[in-house]
Structure 1
Amino acid sequence: MGAGVAGWSLWEARSFQRSFHHLNILPDGMEPMRILNISDIHLMPGDEKKVEFLRDLADLKPDAVFLTGDQLSSTKSLPSLLRALQPLNGIPGAFVFGSHDYHAPVWKNPLSYVLPFLGGPEKDPEDLPHAAMAEAFRDFGWTDMRNTRSSIQVNNQKIQLVGVDDPHIDLDEYPAPKEQEGFTIGLTHAPYARVLNAMEADSVTLALAGHTHGGQVCVPGYGALITNCDLDTAHVAGVFGWPAIAQEKTMTVAISRGLGTSPYAPFRLACRPEVQIIDLA
């Protein structure tokens, strides 16, 4: 039985899924639009199935593309990543980074996510080509949203943006408050409560994130055991209202389970990899 579960979890990690969500959250007068939340690609050399899955997303005719971090897992993967995203080149969009855009993964005991006393990595990680990746994304027409505010035009409609660099490694510096009107999207890699609270207080309408991998290894019938951040497991992935404990939810949060895994833990269980396709109306 153990061999069967192991084999299934390796297969599931390569069973990429398109997850569709319909949200009625646009202000009156705005036209409907389709956006993508692409997170945790963790691209490795030879990930051709993942490359083709990403290239095929253009067939969905998205109006905007948002990348929420952890695109790479190897110093050699940037050319393949850009080839994977090339069909989306020129579509309005924005990006933030996660820790695995700056540093490659290193081996650590997978149980340390649940039992921190088992310790972390024993060697320093390699630097990833994050500057070249950011430049390439900007050349695609996508806005760098690390610790800043901006706006983009989508179908001749203005969308306000606010974003932070990765809170998981304490790179987040939330931009100073600014009076703004209209529909606002917030971008973060790791959905720490401090960031979601800041976005909600900032009148963000929709916050997009990744990082959690949806728990990656879940118990069928129960769900995730960990989130790898300070959210509870009920909010490990999917679409939900925020603040989590308030009766009145004023912001919508969409956390993607992501497409990839660490190369040192290349499995998923009851937690298929995904890209979120969000139809806004």
Structure 2
Amino acid sequence: MTRAVPPLPPRDGVPASRLWLPAGDWPDLLAFLVARFPHLDADVWRARFAGGEVLDELGQPLGADTPYAAGRCLHYFRDVPPERVVPFAETVLYRDERLVAVDKPHFLASIPSGKHLHETLLMRLRKSLNLPDLTPIHRLDRETAGVMLFCADPAHRGAYQTLFAERRVAKTYEALVHYRPGLTLPARHCSRLVERDDSFVMHEVDGEPNSETRIELIAARGDIAHLRLSPATGKKHQLRAHLAALGAPIVNDRWYPRLLPDGPDDYARPLKLVARAIAFTDPLDGAPRRFESARTL
């Protein structure tokens, strides 16, 4: 049974990665880490050891030649190349001792992942609000702007996440789409969404529906329509996949209906999708909560 190991204090707002050592016969920690992370050169790990960036359960630096011992816990801090600063600011809509509601800009990742670490909404807020224990209650795609919720007290995060799991949160989005003549609105679109085998995008397949979105027309001008979207479920890329499947993809979507080659962000062409509002009854004090984005499409 894995024993409890408390987390190490973050560095510059960045939490340490944690790695439990599996059974194996590596002679030392360096040999194991080189085998565990083949994309990293051995010299990278030697430099981390030399800089005291590989630590034991108590936060004490370890040497590259430390004998390998299955079952112990290592901590290390991610080494991320310089990040491109996202030139758009988030806006704090609400803050108390438990809950933080934020209006996220386009192009800013919600949480650290891949090449995005400091330039993420979570890391920005931990630093600017001095809340090192801040955690997301849900997520938005990096390309999507709008309302996102965070929990400032880890003891209460589960209560808020349960609201989403039990579908007791009313979420409203707005989008500009390439309007298809003959699309009858309002409509309720249900389908089974799964991730493609050859990429990270979602597509519809036969089978029991696992996603549902209500779609309403706000206005239409020429071949562009302004829609209100109310998802009853929260599948990955649900709104983008649903609208693409209906022949009305979101304006400036680089993934749906066709995955375009990766390239630098074009700040003049954001995805025309915003999480407009979130409403729910607070599970801890029973107060009605509603937060709305001021961002325009």
Q: TM-score, normalised by structure 1?
A: 0.27
Instruction: Select the structure of larger CA radius of gyration.
Output: 2
Greater helix fraction, Structure 1 or Structure 2: 1
Higher relative contact order, chain-length normalized (CA < 8 Å, sep 6+): 1
Q: TM-score, normalised by structure 2?
A: 0.26
